[in-house]
A = this chain, B = another copy of it.
Amino acid sequence: MTRSQVDGVPRPVMLAIAGDSASGKTTLTEGLVGALGEDRCTSICVDDYHQFDRTERKELPFTPLHPDCNYIDIMEQHLQLLALGRPILKPVYDHATGSLVRPEYVEPKEFVIVEGLHPMSTKLLRACFDVMVFLEPPEEIRHQWKVQRDCAKRGYTPEQVLADLERREPESEAFIRPQRRFADIVARFAPVPGRQDPPGTPLSAELFLRPTIRHPALSNVLTDNLRNAMHLKIMRDKDGTPTDCLHVHGHASPEEARQLEKAIWEELETAGGPPEQLGQITPDQRSEPLALTQLILLYHLFQARDGTGR
């Protein structure tokens, strides 16, 4: 154990998962918490730092995507405290009722996952993290996910959700998507263009593994026999910077995926094998691309804990 300490308090490893509303943050987070165990891993959602409840927001000219709708300064304070191993009294926004309720005492554990709309939106926030991830599914997929979730769990009609998405678009562009450029990993879950996979085939993952942190040495692992379902290539990102891009196809068989998982896991020199909890979308639905994405994140969390990361 080489975790750094401040005044004798161990510092947790901090992972940011940013992305627009319904981009898959919670699904990604839940698998990681499940794999690490709740005794070792805490997750918080920084969308709880709303300044206004749902009724108050109706009077306002901006949506929750606007930084002014959130206590970004308090978010900065709290993430700094967590990064130093200190507890916080976190505000709680009840998505079911749209109201701000009794806050919650949160103590950091060995790993802290911070997901939400704005976790990487300021320099002070970003300074709190060991690893930063941005999720960017294609917009049409994200819109489907948002309609499904907000109607099922938050009491909205599909028309309301679609109107809301339209209203939010300028602020998505101005405040959410710009966080992408600070991410160490950008993950895009999407169908493979031009393929006619059978219904129920999981989405493929396209992972931009940027050289801001040291990634597992996949170029040795991805030998010819895997290239059908997975491949790694160097490319230029949108902004022109070089990056590795790992594709894991949704039609990859569990056996193919396991080979890659095992290779990544072995680099960690950690006992056991990859945790079973990775890749769960629902209790009955598993996705190898999701499992591999989570495994790469676990890899980074363990590297950061052992001080062999950045």
Indicate if A73 sits at the interface (CB-CB under 8 A). yes
User: In the complex, what residues of B have CB within 8 A of residue A74's CB?
Assistant: 87-89, 105
Copies assembled: 2
What is the bound-complex CA distance between A89 and B99, given in angstroms? 16
Q: Are B103 and A103 in contact (CB under 8 A)?
A: yes
Residues 148-168 of chain A: 1 if any B CB is under 8 Å from the residue's CB, otherwise 0? 000000000000000000000
Indicate if A123 sits at the interface (CB-CB under 8 A). no
Indicate if A127 sits at the interface (CB-CB under 8 A). no
User: In the complex, what residues of B have CB within 8 A of residue A103's CB?
Assistant: 89, 91, 100, 103
Q: How far is the CB of A180 from chain B (nearest CB, A)?
A: 28
User: In the complex, what residues of B have CB within 8 A of residue A86's CB?
Assistant: 73, 77
User: In the complex, what residues of B have CB within 8 A of residue A226's CB?
Assistant: none
Partner of A91, one of B53, B77, B89: B89
- Taking CB as reference atom, which chain B residue is nearest A89? B74
User: In the complex, what residues of B have CB within 8 A of residue A89's CB?
Assistant: 71, 74, 89, 91, 103
Number of A positions contacting B (CB below 8 A) = 18
What is the bound-complex CA distance between A101 and B100, given in angstroms? 8
User: With A77-B81, A91-B89 known to touch, is A71 a contact of B105 (CB < 8 Å)?
Assistant: yes
Residues 49-71 of chain A: 1 if any B CB is under 8 Å from the residue's CB, otherwise 0? 00101000000000000000001
Q: How far is the CB of A92 from chain B (nearest CB, A)?
A: 9
What is the bound-complex CA distance between A103 and B102, given in angstroms? 7
Q: CB within 8 Å of B: which residues of A?
A: 51, 53, 71, 73-74, 77, 81, 86-89, 91, 99-103, 105
Closest 5 pairs between A and B when the two form their complex, measured CB to CB: A100-B102, A74-B89, A103-B103, A91-B103, A89-B91
